[in-house]
A and B are shown apart, each in its own frame.
Chain A
Amino acid sequence: MARTSSSHLSNKSPFRTATLWLIWGWLLIFALLPNLLVIAVSFLTRDNSEFISLPVNIDSYLRIIDPLYFDVFVHSLWMAGITTVICLLLGYPFAWLVSKAKARWQPLLMMMLILPFWTNSLVRTYALKLLFANNGLINKTLLAIGVIDTPIDILYTQGAVIAGLTYLLFPFMVLPLYAVFTDLRNDMLLASQDLGASKTQTFWHVVLPLTTPGIISGVLLVLLPAMGMFYVADILGGSRNLLVGNIIKNQFLDARDWPFGAAASVLLTLAMAVLLLAYRASSRRIGKTDFSEVA
């Protein structure tokens, strides 16, 4: 699409050249180089005075397979996965309903979804802590209306972490879904009905396949950040509900084991890459090749 048309614009203007240099320079220095550094560090050896030193080895990667860390990784993936599923189950109908709302209400509804971003997410996580605490608003209310006799444990549970992650990441699920639902033409649904399909059949055969890029995009935007948001686990999860992000943070800041932290980080990036490829494959399947359109 846009790719073919831009390749024809090869006339050299100074502004164009400068812009290209700036963009490439920026990407090289602030995106590619740090990532290469992280990858390089992950293959080095821990050093107490200089942080890192030679020789090159794969010890860090071997240590991650160690059951202790592997359990954390699996538990982290579990919590992030549950978060993603909840976000999807809530976000899918939410995005559909917003896309069906009257056109003049839609910007307002989306605005309300985005509004919490104006407050720092760390502050909002502390706010959740106040809600979840034993003497917090939720327990107080439940006690007051007589549902429970003693405060229930919400804070420092797996549930609190999942709730916090869901709360923070929900908009990232809705945004790409909303984009695919606004693209979903109503006459597709009518055509399916016209050809004899019931509402359920239309959902499985037409709506779901056509919104899959949005689902994958939303999963991508929720699952990986969910595994990395260490401060949510720190504030709401206590010591037993760690995320991969916590391991990485601990290795860099507390244990001072840079190669190991870097290796964990590289694995997380790899997981992202795998999901990205899955997304690309699926979007090509329905004829949408422009990644940026949805993500």
Chain B
Amino acid sequence: MTDSPVNVPVTATPSHANSSSDNPDIIDIRATDVLLQLTGLKKTYDETEVLTDINLNIKRGEFLTLLGPSGCGKTTLLRLIAGFEQPTAGAISLEGVQMAGLPADKRPVNTVFQQYALFPHMTVAQNVAYGLKIKKVSKDEIQTRVRDMLAMVQLEHLANRKPQDLSGGQQQRVAIARAVVNRPKLLLLDEPLSALDHKLRLQMQSELKRLQRELGITFVFVTHDQEEALSMSDRIAVMKDGKFQQIGTPIEIYETPANLFTAKFIGETNLFKAEVKGVYPQQPDRDGQVTNGRIEVEVCEAQAQDGPTTLRNLRRPNFANEVQVGDIVNLLLRPEDLRIYEADDNTHSGLLGRVIESNYKGSTLDSIIELHNGHIIKASEFFDEDDPSFDYKLNEAVKVSWVDGWEWVLPDDNSVNDKTDNESDSDIYIGKAVSTTVQKDIS
């Protein structure tokens, strides 16, 4: 894993042991079957760089999600691929054919718009037929294809209605049918589920996945909803300030985030700072296999605690700059990775704290714990009916720990420490983007 924003090594996702193992189709598709290739893509509006050096290969049949906070450039990237805007620099090649410079109506790519953009003066069937009519497809073929398409999205019975007489979910399906009926090589979806309520959104998520499987069309999906991205995508490209932060399968993104931004943006995260006390590189282990080595760290919160502190023995991370003794690293632990013990439990060591909030969620018990230094963390435990003490009183003193090896280690990166919120004001991001690009140009 790289620790800096991923810019170049994109197609070759690191062959992680658990990466996309549940979907054999994806593993078979390799760089030979690249559908869309973006190289060195750049977009500037009035001196403001919205996209910086975007490199991405999208594979045939893939469901790729562009994920990021608003103002990160994901919609701009989609508009560049669609052809609504032209890049300032760089190349877009679809099956080896240069797309940059071609307007949207000349590209074999279709878009599902955020607000659907259905034509109100046409019926559902006329909306779906529009693209075929423009391409002068024969009347008979238009009829068959429109009918088949409407059957596929289960809207045949509404063919002669006007879009505005349909519910949000039905309009959504018309929008998808209108795009897909043209058999595009690539379907672009611009936050297509954001206008739907929660229940309908979940339903449409699985429907979109079904359509994508049945049609075999490559989907590029834009969203700021990380849950949506995790549940739908084959791969996710996390974006911030016009750059890719990480590109990988949902599992890779969640389990092994490339940097603190990705870690905090995807799911809930507890961060512990720790000081490196020892580095033991590349030693053959008991079976004689060369591993990456180990490091020993002391969690900073534990340092302030009374009594002897225990060192934790972790896998040595692959940072760009080698880990040195005395370095500060971030230990990343998801709420479900944490173990909570009673404070007087002497069989376990851990960080002392007290429970300030405890929410019973049915299958899990979610607790907010304030460590003695004020650091607030969140733990999520599976409910255990056999454990009589499995509930916490407010202010109950507890110990927090985890199984060594369940943490993910990231370098101490001050630049992203302050960004924890998912939906930051876009202005702030644009402002940041300007300053970073200026710095880049100077150096």
Chain A: residues with CB nearer than 8 A to chain B? Answer: 185, 187-188, 190-198, 201, 205-206, 209-210, 285-287
B403 at the interface (CB under 8 A from A): no
Q: Find out whether the CB atom of B130 lies under 8 angstroms from the CB atom of A195.
A: yes
B120 CB–A CB distance under 8 Å = yes
User: Is the CB–CB distance between A194 and B105 below 8 Å?
Assistant: yes
Query: Which single member of B104, B119, B120 contacts A194 (CB below 8 Å)?
Result: B104
- B238-280: which residues lie under 8 A (CB-CB) from chain A? none
Known contacts A196-B182, A209-B121, A286-B121: does B134 contact A191 (CB below 8 Å)?
no
- Of A188, A193, A195, A205, the residue contacting B178 (CB under 8 A) is A195
Is the Cβ of A188 less than 8 Å from the Cβ of B117? yes
Residues of chain A within 8 A of B135, CB atoms compared = 196
Are B103 and A191 in contact (CB-based, < 8 A)? no
Q: Choose, from B22-30, B108-116, B284-292, the stretch at the interface.
A: B108-116
Which residues of B, 411-442, contact A by the 8 Å Cβ criterion?
none
Task: Tell me whether A205 and B120 are in contact in the complex, defined as CB-CB below 8 angstroms, given that A193-B84, A196-B182 are known contacts.
Answer: no
Are B134 and A187 touching (Cβ within 8 A)? Answer: no
**7 A-B contacts (beta carbon < 8 Å):** A187-B117, A191-B117, A194-B82, A195-B131, A195-B134, A206-B119, A286-B120
- Report the minimal beta-carbon distance from B192 to chain A, rounded to whole angstroms: 12
The answer to whether B115 and A201 have CB atoms under 8 Å apart is no
Using a CB–CB cutoff of 8 Å, the interface residues on chain B facing chain A are 82, 84, 103-105, 109-111, 113-115, 117-121, 130-131, 134-135, 162, 164-165, 178-179, 182
* Cβ 8 A contact of B103, one of A192, A193, A195, A205: A193
Contact yes or no, A190 B113, CB < 8 A: yes
Query: Given the complex of chains A and B, what is the CA–CA distance between A34 and B165 in angstroms?
Result: 41
Contact (Cβ within 8 A) A287 B131:
no
Asked if A191 and B105 sit within 8 Å, CB to CB, the answer is: no
Q: Are A287 and B162 in contact (CB under 8 A)?
A: yes
Cβ-closest chain A residue relative to B113: A187
Return the chain A residue nearest B111 by Cβ: A194
CA distance A201 to B130 in the complex (A): 11
Closest 8 pairs (CB-CB, A-B): A195-B131, A187-B117, A191-B117, A286-B121, A209-B121, A196-B134, A193-B104, A197-B134
A interface majority secondary structure: helix
Least CB separation from B82: chain A residue: A194
| Chain A residues near B178 (CB-CB < 8 A) | 191, 195
Other than A193-B103, A287-B165, give 12 A-B pairs with Cβ distance below 8 A.
Answer: A187-B114, A190-B117, A191-B113, A193-B84, A194-B109, A195-B110, A196-B131, A196-B134, A201-B134, A205-B130, A206-B119, A210-B121
Q: Report the minimal beta-carbon distance from A208 to chain B, rounded to whole angstroms.
A: 10
Contacting A287 at CB < 8 Å: which of B84, B121, B134? B121
Bound: A198/B102 CA distance, A: 12
Contact A190–B120 (Cβ < 8 Å): no
Min Cβ gap A243→B in Å is: 35
* Inter-subunit contact A185/B121 (CB<8 Å): no
Q: Complex Cα distance A286/B164, Å?
A: 10
B contact residues around A188 at 8 Å (CB): 117, 119
CB of A275 to closest CB in B, whole Å: 20
Which residue in chain B gives the minimum CB-CB distance to A187?
B117
Instruction: Give A111 Cβ to nearest chain B Cβ, in Å.
Output: 28
Cβ 8 A contact of B119, one of A190, A191, A198, A201: A191
Residues of B within 8 A of A185 (CB): 115, 117
CA of A206 to CA of B131 in the docked complex: distance in angstroms?
12
A185 to B105, CA, bound (A): 18
- Partner pick for B120 among A192, A196, A210, CB 8 A cutoff: A210
Whether B105 and A196, one on each chain, are in contact in the complex, defined by CB atoms closer than 8 angstroms, is yes
* Nearest-neighbor residue (CB-CB) of A202 within chain B: B105
For residue B106, give the distance in angstroms from its CB to the closest CB of chain A. 8
Contacts of A286 in B (CB 8 A): 120-121
A194 vs B82: C-alpha distance when bound (angstroms): 7
The CA-CA distance from A286 to B118 in the complex, in Å, is: 12
A191 to chain B: closest residue by CB: B117
* Cα separation A291 to B159 with both chains bound (whole Å): 27
Q: Provide the residues of chain B in CB contact with A206, threshold 8 Å.
A: 119
Q: Are A287 and B117 in contact (CB under 8 A)?
A: no
Q: Would you call A193 and B113 a contact (CB within 8 A)?
A: no
Q: Closest CB-CB distance, A214 to chain B, in whole Å?
A: 13
CA distance A198 to B110 in the complex (A): 15
Residue among B113, B115, B117 with the most chain A CB within 10 A?
A: B117
Asked if A190 contacts B121 (CB within 8 A), the reply is no
CB distance from B127 to the nearest CB of A (A): 9
In the assembled complex, how far is the CB of residue B109 from the closest CB belonging to chain A, in whole angstroms?
A: 8
CA distance A190 to B162 in the complex (A): 20
Minimum CB–CB distance for B115 against chain A, Å: 6
Contacts of B117 in A (CB 8 A): 185, 187-188, 190-191
Contacts of B84 in A (CB 8 A): 190, 193-194
- A201's closest neighbor in chain B, by CB? B134
Complex interface: chain A residues within 8 A of B110 (CB): 194-195
Which chain B residues lie closer than 8 Å to A287 at the CB level? 120-121, 162, 164-165
A184 to chain B, nearest CB (A): 10
Most-contacted residue by chain B among A185, A187, A194, A209 (CB, 10 A):
A194
User: Contact check: which of B109, B115, B162 meets A187 at CB < 8 Å?
Assistant: B115
Cβ-neighbour of B105 out of A193, A209, A285 (below 8 A): A193
Q: Which residues does chain A contribute within 8 Å of B162, judged by CB atoms?
A: 287
Q: CA–CA, A206 to B178, complex, Å?
A: 15
User: What residues of B have a CB within 8 angstroms of the CB of A192 in the complex?
Assistant: 119, 130
A285 to B111, CA, bound (A): 26
- Closest A residue, CB atoms, query B114: A187
